[in-house]
Structure 1
Amino acid sequence: MRYRALIIDVSAKSWELREYRLDEVLGPIDFGIKLHLEDVESWKRSPYDPSNALVLGAGVFAGSKLFGCHRVAVVFRSLETMGLHVSTMGGVAYKFIGCGVHAIAIVGRAHKPTIVFIRGSEKGVESVNFVNIEPHHLESIYAGYGGRKGAYALEKWLIDTFWDYISETHARPIVVGPAAWRTIFGALVSVDVDLTRRDLVEGSEEFAARGGPGSVLAQVHNVAAIVAGGTWRPQLPTTLLNMSELSKYVSDALGKDYSSAVTEATTKYRYDPHYGAGGTFGVNYPHYRELLPLFNFNSIYLRKEIRKRIADLIIEHYWKPFKEEVFEKSKVWRTCGEPCPAACKKVWRGKKVDYEPFEGVGPLIGVMKLDKSVKVVDEIDQLGFDAIEIGHVIAWLLESVYRGLLEPEDIGISERPILDPLLLNVDLWSRNAELALELVRGLVNKRTEVLKLVAELGIRRAAKILDDRYVARVSALGLRFEDLAIYLPFGSHGYMTPNFYWTPGFLVPIPITGRYWTNYSTTFMEPEEYAKTVFVRALKEYELDNAGFCRFHRGWAEKILAKLYECLGVSIDIDEHAKEMYRKIVEYNVKADAKPRFLESERAKDVIVTLATELGASEWESKFSKNRDDALKEWWSRFAKAFAELLGIDPSYAEL
């Protein structure tokens, strides 16, 4: 078996098939790293250069009967971090694999907005076609089509316009929305297609969003959609294709029944009887409670008693209505598009509800009413934004107004936000949802000069420009714009915001953050010990993504991944392989001026410092109280040194 990849040059409208031995390329991330670092050397040029290949691919187990193995990984140079980044979307490979290859790479820049069609037959790739769409036509579709707008409207239009092609190939379109063309926060969006109803499957929408891959596809390559499918199937051993053989093979490898192992590993995401709910939203809120990040992470400064009272309000007004509707009444659960017993997509009144999108425009900005936040999340999704990044942007801008760094008219909102956590008033706080909706629409339309800056440059660069533009306000308040934002800086201009957890794991010096390639538990420990835990998770998560496995299946898949590769005739130390590829990501980012740098933001620093106090790390609490910055630099630099030793690289990969 070989890993098959298709290089598509959208400027020349040409394509080239490449095949790699599995000891060369084990999966889509390997392929993406090899292409960027060795072939196109995209680090030499601007991330807006057409050499910034967007790689989208499945793992080598796609097409098998294994549960959870049809995730697609996307590799690209991010317009946010300025370095190599990886994002993923679930279930898409289940239909994508039929196009005749495991992965595609988009290079070049189309002369007009383009839709790329890839058809596979039993022999492999049969055809690649390019269909132009006029900008005004694309805008009219985004404005509204088939009862939807944005990315959802574009996918519905593709289904209706190219129905014969989609029905024959079983293709699942991957599209971008308006956010991808107008901001650097654009996601790739793919909603599963119901071939019987000729419509989108409500609740089975997926987003490859972190780092802005949609913005790369749109702004760098001028591509609006990829429609790939067909009848090709990889040549896999019968052990992976016959369910009874597979069950025996996996059961023997695990030492327990396959079905039981999968059920046990995915309990949180399907249904956890301890909470009477499931999915990330259903479990995270009752699990984390007073450790939840609230009011743009200002909760880290609150006494535990206050945080507990706010958590009680969240449970009563935000979580319970979800639990009652989804687990006691309607019980609408979906998958990402592949057969999977986890059914992790929990649908509330027609909308898929996950923790992070609903946290970002929920409790993070004080909104604790599901009917309020669902409108904002739906707008974010249809416009095609990265929901985590846009959650940070909204919280940062709202607090900037709340603190007096900005006026409401500077960002086009109708009134001042209510962000006082001591009010303990759900009705008052929930008014922020309408302001968030105004901001989402304002960002995609660049309604004000401030919003234009943020949309085009991101939080870090915009904050520094705003420091100069509003120097009098900054001076009077003794507060910089970046001090209200939470991000890890990369190089001169890049950055990445963390996922919504109170943890050091997204703010330590690692080459790829904003994803779960870290230890994101609420913990604080000696930097050397913490580096070991982050290192292990980074490699394991790399291995899962590179194999195309959903991390919700990590509880069983990680244990036998090497054994599964043996089915394909590959005998490899996958930890060492992941370590080598991770080193290459570091190498790329160093060349691209995207080294992780010490924290610039006061709020970001305090995320780590306050956690030491919260968890009773008395020695570090004492150090931080005497000289916070010096002590934090010590902790951070010791982490970097330990991480470098584990990886076998020079500690200069990170900058103080």
Structure 2
Amino acid sequence: MLLVKVLRINLSDNSWRIEDTTAQGPVTLGVKVHNEANSWGLDPFDPQVPFVIGMGPFVGGKMPGFHRLMVVFKSPMTRTLHVAALGGAAYKFMGSGIDVVIITGKSKSPVVAFLSSDGVELRVVEPIFEYGNYHGAYAFTKYLLDTYREFFVKYNARAVVVGPAALSTYNGALVSIDVNPLKGEFRPGAEDFAARGGPGTALAMGHNMVGIVAGGTYRARYAKVNDMEFINKVMIESFKKPFRQVMDEKTIKYRFDPGIGTGGTFGVNYPHYRELLPLFGYKSIYLPREVRAQHVEAILRLFWKPFNDEVFVRSKSWYNCGDFGCSVVCKKVWHGKKVDYEPFHAMGPFIGNYIFEEAVPLVDLIDQYGLDAIEMGHVVAWLFDSLEHGLLKPEEVGLNDKPVFDPLRFNPTIDSRKNARLADELIRGFVGRSTEVLRLVAENGIRAAARKLDEMFHERVLKVGRSFRDLVVYAAYGGSGYMTPNLYWAPGMVAPMYVLGRYWTNYTPTFMGPEDFAKSSLGRAVMEALIDDAGLCRFHRGWVEPVLDRLYTEVIGMQPNKDLYKEFAEYSMKANAEPTPWESERARDVVATMAKEIGSKEWIFEDYEDYVNWWRRFKATIDAGLGVITR
């Protein structure tokens, strides 16, 4: 069994201790710690709810990809356990010799933990969000780098911080920007965000911790992760090819695919998904395919091509996340800004903005605030659509104009700029809670806010004939939890799975009967949980999944815990936050329109009972596969 070095911090009295325990990885340990604390019965911001952040066992070796920091926390959005991942940061964090940090209690003053191979120190540090030419989480990171330069240089350290959004909204992320400590500079492209579910908010509001800085001299935990003879032997026996060749072939999408002349999630997804891209807050699912094709042509011309020409023709600005042995260089950088599909789609076509250059400052603003870009795409699109339908007035969300949010009358070259400008104002107002409506959303999240808005504007709802909740896509958990889907037109992203908002499901844009779809989704969920527990970047999943059992067995001497996903399900049941049937009409229609798109004859979804039947049969199959009994 893997011996894990755990740092337990109690911020109620600013005490800490280091202990050894056994666990497969940070996610397994996180679930165990939450169960021991009975956190299922506590509010997500209760100081006794543990916040767990750590790395997997394969760090420090010659197999890149195993250097993600994993976060396990009780989400203020889902109201149950959630997992978020932060790419590359474990490469430096491992130097501290600490595998997992468990935080409980709440400090009276904001605190930053400094972890090194020489010890632990908790320092009171007020978060600085304006510093030099930097703003938000970038300013705070630069302030820490300059103020504690000696620590960064001595231990080759990296910071994880919160941004302003963690102090004022449910949607705060953890932000980590790798640095060159000797030069006092940020490393290009080496920035990442543990964002889904609000981990930054959970850390800041629940514990008043605003950052962790870690580094040191420790490296690989196990000798075999540096044994290339062993690594190549495993790969040859599994793939008939040596390790480097297998890794290059299995990660080609994220580096550069010469077959399509692009790479990375942004470069590949647009020409690949085309008419299946979700646009205008998922309103595109109702459009005929030929109309969607017209939109795609404009997106490829105005949104995709400028990026592709710059990154793959002119500058070739490709980097990695700070996992220094990784040759995938998945971080494509456009004039200093890291570009990935989901944050740019969230601030691009999903909110009615087809001009790439207009999306760049929006993504940068979201990153500075330390927000989850996917969630903010849903928030902006939802509020835009509420304005379009007349459920809200511009001044009620701090605007002086209405967006153009009807895809049938949208002019990409004119209306994109208008929508981008209004999105900028809306995001700033959201973090600043500048109006009653924006405060309601920022403090409560979409699901609870939609209910309250339906009450506040009851007469408008009756007049328009649409509910606020029907204009946004989310999966519901228990009485108040929810999760918005990653930006794919995929029924598996809103299906009754116990962890959503990540890729713990079948997220292929397709449709099947509920039993078959559930079985395929459960298979992915079980494997994705194991990938996260190993601290693996999922861009490497193609070469790791077939050999993961063997790596655990031969490197660590244990079999991986295949019941990990089941443990999440059992926790959600105890927290009264298991999946509940769709409340949103548009969420239901993500499933129904995909069934129509592929020409399903069995599932027509003519009435509400059809939706409920598909949902219930899907969930029953998941629960039977896990061997759990629900109420």
Alignment TM-score, normalising by the size of structure 2: 0.98
Partner of 2:331: 345
Matched, 1:489 2:476: yes
Letter paired with 1:646:
G
Letter paired with 2:125:
I
Matched, 1:193 2:199: no
Q: Is the 8 A contact 1:333 1:344 kept in 2?
A: yes
Distance across 1 between alignment mates of 2:82 and 2:241: 36
5+ residue gaps, structure 1, are 121-125
Partner of 2:281: 296
Question: What per-residue deviation string (whole Å, max 9, x for no partner) do you get for residues 109-140 of structure 1?
Answer: 011011111111xxxxx322111134xxx3xx
- CA displacement at 1:196 relative to structure 2: 3.6
Please give the secondary structure, in 2, of the residue aligned with 1:650: coil
Give the counterpart of 1:605 among 588, 610, 613: 588
Residues 99-110 of structure 1: pairs in structure 2 closer than 5 A? 99-110=96-107
Residues 295-444 of structure 1: pairs in structure 2 closer than 5 A? 295-338=280-323, 339-430=325-416, 431-444=418-431
Matched, 1:131 2:116: no
Distance across 2 between alignment mates of 1:329 and 1:613: 42
Give the counterpart of 1:47 among 36, 44, 49: 44
Matched, 1:262 2:247: yes
Q: Is the 8 A contact 1:285 1:319 kept in 2?
A: yes
Give me the identity figure in percent: 46
Distance across 2 between alignment mates of 1:506 and 1:365: 19
Distance across 1 between alignment mates of 2:182 and 2:254: 28
Matched, 1:147 2:151: no
Question: What per-residue deviation string (whole Å, max 9, x for no partner) do you get for residues 536-562 of structure 1?
Answer: 100111111100111001110001011
Partner of 1:123: none
Matched, 1:637 2:607: no
Question: What per-residue deviation string (whole Å, max 9, x for no partner) do you get for residues 339-390 of structure 1?
Answer: 2111000001110110000111100111011110111000000110011111
Please give the secondary structure, in 2, of the residue aligned with 1:173: strand
Letter paired with 1:467:
D
Alignment TM-score, normalising by the size of structure 1: 0.94
Matched, 1:451 2:448: no
Q: Is the 8 A contact 1:253 1:563 kept in 2?
A: no
Q: Is the 8 A contact 1:266 1:553 kept in 2?
A: yes
Letter paired with 1:615:
I
Residues 6-45 of structure 1: pairs in structure 2 closer than 5 A? 6-21=7-22, 25-37=23-35, 39-45=36-42
Distance across 1 between alignment mates of 2:172 and 2:556: 39
Residues 50-69 of structure 1: pairs in structure 2 closer than 5 A? 50-69=47-66
- CA displacement at 1:425 relative to structure 2: 1.6
Matched, 1:214 2:180: no
Distance across 2 between alignment mates of 1:649 and 1:593: 14
Summarize the Cα distance change of 1:646–1:245 in structure 2 as closer, same or farther, 3 Å threshold.
closer
Give the counterpart of 1:538 among 525, 528, 531: 525
- CA displacement at 1:249 relative to structure 2: 4.0
- CA displacement at 1:286 relative to structure 2: 0.4
Matched, 1:115 2:100: no
The alignment covers a number of residue pairs equal to: 628
- CA displacement at 1:585 relative to structure 2: 1.1
Question: What per-residue deviation string (whole Å, max 9, x for no partner) do you get for residues 419-441 of structure 1?
Answer: 12123521232110011100111
Q: Is the 8 A contact 1:641 1:651 kept in 2?
A: no
Matched, 1:523 2:540: no
Partner of 2:453: 466
- CA displacement at 1:581 relative to structure 2: 1.9
Summarize the Cα distance change of 1:223–1:249 in structure 2 as closer, same or farther, 3 Å threshold.
same
Question: What per-residue deviation string (whole Å, max 9, x for no partner) do you get for residues 280-332 of structure 1?
Answer: 00000000111100111100110110000000100011101111000000010
Question: What per-residue deviation string (whole Å, max 9, x for no partner) do you get for residues 211-231 of structure 1?
Answer: 000001110110111011111
Partner of 2:491: 504
Q: Is the 8 A contact 2:530 2:564 kept in 1?
A: no
Question: What per-residue deviation string (whole Å, max 9, x for no partner) do you get for residues 560-606 of structure 1?
Answer: 0111112334242x3xx23x222221111111121110000011111
Runs of 4+ in 1 over 4 A off after TM superposition: none
Matched, 1:561 2:548: yes
- CA displacement at 1:502 relative to structure 2: 0.5
Tell me how large the CA RMSD over aligned residues is. Answer: 1.2
Distance across 1 between alignment mates of 2:487 and 2:255: 21
